[in-house]
Chains A and B, each alone.
Chain A
Amino acid sequence: MRVNGIGVSPGIVIGKAHWLKRQRALLTGIVLQNDSDIATEIEKFNKAVSLSVAEVELMIGHSDAASDKEGLAIMETHIVLLTDPQISEDVIEKISQEKKNVNDAVIEVILNAVELFKSMNDEYLSARAADVQDIGDRLLKNLNPHSHSSTQQYPPDTIIIADDLTPSDTISMDVTRVIGFATQVGGGTSHAAIIARSKGIPAITGCGHELINIKDGDLLILDGQSGDIIINPDETVIEQYHVRRADWLAQNSQLHSLKNTPASTTDGINIKLFANIGNAVDMEQAIGFGAEGSGLLRTELLFMGRDALPTEQEQFEFYKAVVLKAKDKPVILRTLDIGGDKQLPYFNFPAEQNPFLGYRAIRICLNRPDIFITQLKAILRASVFGQLKIMFPMISGIEEVRAAKVILQQAKDELTTTGIAFDKNIPVGIMIEIPSAAITADMLAKEVDFFSIGTNDLCQYTLAVDRMNEQIKNLYDPYNPGVLRLIAYVIEQGHKNNIEVGMCGELASDPKATLLLMGMGLTEFSMSAAAIPQIKNIIVNNSLSAAKKIQQRVMKMDSSHIITAYLQEVTQ
């Protein structure tokens, strides 16, 4: 039998079910008779508060600050809530004015606050209701001298099943014994989910009523990725999941072992490994692969598959979502790059003999400032939420850069007039993908804050090879010495003018090219997220001085066959 919920923390575990049932305090309806009763109840409340604070402080003392930052922050918040003047004022008022006993007063005050948060149409704040409920439960427990501590010793390989888990439940879970949990309610942003991820135990929330089919002691398989729980599986299924678990552990440890390792060479040079992304989900996954930012956010996705241009507000929400996921890591956003092979159903592209040499990217944007300024305003508005940079594609010369910057300034002026906040110093860069731009890199560098080399187009334009044409695709070769000289020149000129140079084309993810590019002085590589661990593995095992020697030799070689064979050999 199976139950399905939302997988909120990945991993596969097999263990025994244990229901966590919580006893909730009930209203007594007692009416206080005199002032002495009132004073006693108020004193009980104050005592319960200090006891509760002491308990949470003890939890903080026992927790491992380095590994459980999330848990610590939650406990700090609980202490502030336990001593919240508004809560105590309300409780004391109920005791002294409405003559309720402390038990009933606390239940009512907490219930009101919980309902308030739940009613606030905001996923995050509704989840905070759990914090208020949690401190309320703690106060009530400490009001009743007969109830004892809720910490319980579980047998090894326990999977906790509960209607819901309070943050305290999750934080105090002993992960040497509790290997996973599943709850009826909750979502991906609940504390329980956050803590599960930070503790690295699989968890499923939102299983709904079906969860009652699980009985104490049932054997369970819990897949925190898919959100599946299998109840009392047979031998073959268990066997399958043992294999899947082993695969998952192996994969996880391999990726994980490099994930937090900085991409530094053996001689201590830091290289930035960024991801090419299309939306916020990509950004989140990229960070999972160890990306330190995004070197290319393609914005086309937002414009495609719809029947009208996205509004400024839609674009703003989209860019903001990406920047929030990046959590202060840099994101280089490429302005609209349509045309060529990327058509839009609602935008009339003229028929062209050579679409790749035609009306596309910045050429469209400069011709249609209405579309361009809408995008730029949305980008600027999103820029206050993190580290956003603007990049213009398909630049062939300095006039285009200046024209684009004029429109950017207009966008800034319009926002300033309406009083909307944006990052006034947002860095502006260009893609170097047209040979004329590469050859004039020394001039362009004075006009912008960074370059990003787009090797796919740079290669096809330099070699006059259509990369979509099957017959000549063998000529499409980024190791052609002509292409390599252009790349080396762009990097050199970037350094001379003190601007950053990155690469977001396919060459950045080619392991053969890593040392050569490092030798040229490239310090930022942006690629598909899944390629990051492999490239990082090369970087951490080599030195910049060795890479420089490799580059010097390669630049003297006259054929790409010799170059690729040599690079293949030195990359081993």
Chain B
Amino acid sequence: MIIKDYTITAAEGMHARPATNLVKLTKNYSSLISLKKGDRTVKLSSLLNILSLGIKGGETISIIIDGEDETSAIIAIDAFFKEELKHL
């Protein structure tokens, strides 16, 4: 299991467009991928659940990955948070 924290630097928080791309990205992996904000944890496969967390710019969230391909999943997710999310 891999747990990693990210601070959302995207301008207006976790909006529908980057969240959509994140959901699509996680569909490529068989590992169970979840997102935790405060005491709420949701599966990354549900856009509805991600949006319902109302993640704002500057907030910190944790990504939890558990499964066979977790190491390759974290690389892709890392790249997403570092690069893509900033420019979307």
Residue pair B20, A385 in contact (C-beta under 8 Å): no
> Is B79 part of the contact surface with A, judged by Cβ < 8 Å?
no
If A84-B46, A85-B46 touch, whether A125 touches B20 (CB-CB below 8 Å) is no
- Return the chain A residue nearest B10 by Cβ: A385
Instruction: Name the prevailing secondary structure of the B interface residues.
Output: mixed
| Bound form: Cα–Cα A86–B23 in Å | 13
| Neighbouring B residues of A120 by C-beta, 8 Å | 52, 54
How far, in angstroms, from A384 to B54 measured CA to CA in the complex?
A: 19
A278 part of interface (Cβ distance < 8 Å)? no
A421 x B58 contact (CB < 8 A): yes
Q: How far is the CA of A319 from the CA of B56 in the complex (A)?
A: 17
Do the beta carbons of B12 and A73 come within 8 Å of each other?
A: no
Kindly state the separation between the CA atoms of A84 and B9 in the bound complex, as whole angstroms.
Answer: 26
Are A77 and B52 interface neighbours, CB within 8 A? no
Is B40 an interface position by the 8 A CB rule?
A: no
Decide: A80 and B24 in contact? CB cutoff 8 A: yes
> Could you tell me if B20 and A76 are in contact, using CB atoms closer than 8 angstroms?
yes
Q: B51: which of A73, A117, A385, A386 is its contact (CB, 8 Å)?
A: A117
Within 8 A of A (CB), among B31-88: 43, 45-49, 51-52, 54, 56-58, 87
Q: Say yes or no for A458: interface residue by CB 8 A criterion.
A: no
Q: Among residues 94 to 147 in chain A, which have CB atoms less than 8 Å away from a CB atom of chain B?
A: 113, 116-117, 120, 122, 124-125, 128, 131-132
Q: Given known contacts A81-B47, A84-B48, is B7 in contact with A324 (CB within 8 Å)?
A: no
> How many A-B contacts are there with CB distance less than 8 Å?
60
Question: Would you call B16 an interface residue if the criterion is a C-beta within 8 Å of the partner chain's C-beta atoms?
Answer: yes
Q: How far is the CA of A113 from the CA of B7 in the complex (A)?
A: 26
CA gap between A122 and B20 in the complex, in Å: 19
Q: Which A residues are in CB contact (< 8 Å) with B57?
A: 385
Q: Which of A363-418 contact B (CB under 8 A)?
A: 384-386
Minimal beta-carbon separation of B8 from chain A (angstroms): 10
- Which of chain A's residues have a CB closer than 8 A to the CB of B20? 73, 76-77, 80
Complex: A327 Cα to B11 Cα, angstroms = 8
Among B23, B24, B47, B56, find the residue whose CB has the most chain A CB atoms closer than 10 A. B47
CA distance A75 to B49 in the complex (A): 18
Cβ of B17 and Cβ of A77 under 8 Å apart? Answer: yes
Mask for A315-338, Cβ within 8 A of B = 1, else 0?
A: 000000001100110000000000
Interface string of B13-30 (1 = CB under 8 A from A): 101110010011000000
B46 to chain A, nearest CB (A): 4
Residues on B with C-beta less than 8 A from A116 are 52
**Which interface residue of B11, B17, B23, B43 has the most chain A CB atoms within 10 A?**
B11
List, in ascending order, chain B residues with CB within 8 A of A117's CB. 51-52
- Residues of A within 8 Å of B48, CB to CB, are 81, 84, 86-87, 113, 132
Q: Chain B: how many interface residues by the 8 Å CB criterion?
A: 24
Chain A residues near B23 (CB, 8 Å)?
80
Find out whether the CB atom of B58 lies under 8 angstroms from the CB atom of A85. no
Residue of B nearest to A116 (CB): B52
Task: Report which of B17, B43, B47, B49 forms a contact with A73, defined as CB distance below 8 A.
Answer: B17
Evaluate whether A77 and B47 lie within 8 angstroms (CB atoms) in the complex, with A116-B52, A117-B52, A122-B54 already known. yes
A86 to B44, CA, bound (A): 10
Which residue of the partner chain B has the closest CB to A316?
B58
**A128 x B51 contact (CB < 8 A):** yes
Are B16 and A128 in contact, CB atoms less than 8 angstroms apart?
yes
Report the separation of the CA atoms of residues A323 and B57 in the bound assembly, to the nearest whole angstrom.
13
A86 and B46 in contact, given A122-B54, A125-B51, A125-B54 (Cβ under 8 angstroms)? yes
Give the distance in Å from the alpha carbon of A328 to the alpha carbon of B46 in the complex.
29
Q: Which residues of B contact A323 (CB under 8 A)?
A: 11
B40 to chain A, nearest CB (A): 13
CA distance A501 to B56 in the complex (A): 36
Say yes or no: A85-B43 contact (C-beta < 8 A), given A113-B48, A125-B51, A131-B16: yes
Nearest A-chain residue to B17, judged by Cβ: A73
Complex formed: what's the CA distance from A324 to B20 in Å?
A: 21
Q: Decide: B49 and A86 in contact? CB cutoff 8 A.
A: yes
Q: Are B12 and A324 in contact (CB-based, < 8 A)?
A: yes
User: Is the beta-carbon distance between A421 and B17 smaller than 8 angstroms?
Assistant: no
Across-interface contacts of B54 in A (CB, < 8 A): 120, 122, 125
A124 contacts which chain B residues (CB < 8 A)?
12-13, 15
**Closest residue of chain A to B23, judged by CB?**
A80
CB contact between A80 and one of B12, B15, B47 (< 8 Å): that residue: B47
* Residues of the A chain whose Cβ atoms lie less than 8 Å from the Cβ of B49: 86
Q: With A and B bound together, what is the CA distance between A81 and B24 in angstroms?
A: 11
- In the bound complex, CA of A128 to CA of B16 (Å): 8
Nearest Cβ on chain A to B82's Cβ, whole angstroms: 13
CA distance A76 to B88 in the complex (A): 14
Q: How far is the CB of A128 from chain B (nearest CB, A)?
A: 6
A198 vs B87: C-alpha distance when bound (angstroms): 20
- Report yes or no: A421 in contact with B47, Cβ–Cβ below 8 A: no
Query: Which of the listed residues B13, B16, B49, B52 has the most CB atoms from chain A within 10 Å of its own CB?
Result: B16
B residues near A328, Cβ cutoff 8 Å = 87
Listed A/B pairs (9) with beta-carbon separation below 8 Å: A73-B20, A77-B17, A77-B47, A84-B46, A86-B43, A117-B51, A385-B57, A386-B11, A421-B7
Question: Which residues of B line the A interface, CB within 8 A?
Answer: 7, 9, 11-13, 15-17, 20, 23-24, 43, 45-49, 51-52, 54, 56-58, 87
19 new A-B contacts, CB < 8 A, other than A74-B16, A385-B57, are: A76-B17, A77-B16, A80-B20, A80-B23, A84-B47, A85-B45, A86-B46, A86-B48, A87-B46, A87-B48, A113-B48, A122-B54, A124-B12, A125-B51, A128-B16, A324-B11, A385-B9, A421-B7, A421-B9
Chain A residues close to B by CB (< 8 Å):
73-74, 76-77, 80-81, 84-87, 113, 116-117, 120, 122, 124-125, 128, 131-132, 323-324, 327-328, 384-386, 421
Task: List 3 A-B pairs, minimum CB-CB distance, nearest first.
Answer: A86-B46, A77-B20, A80-B47
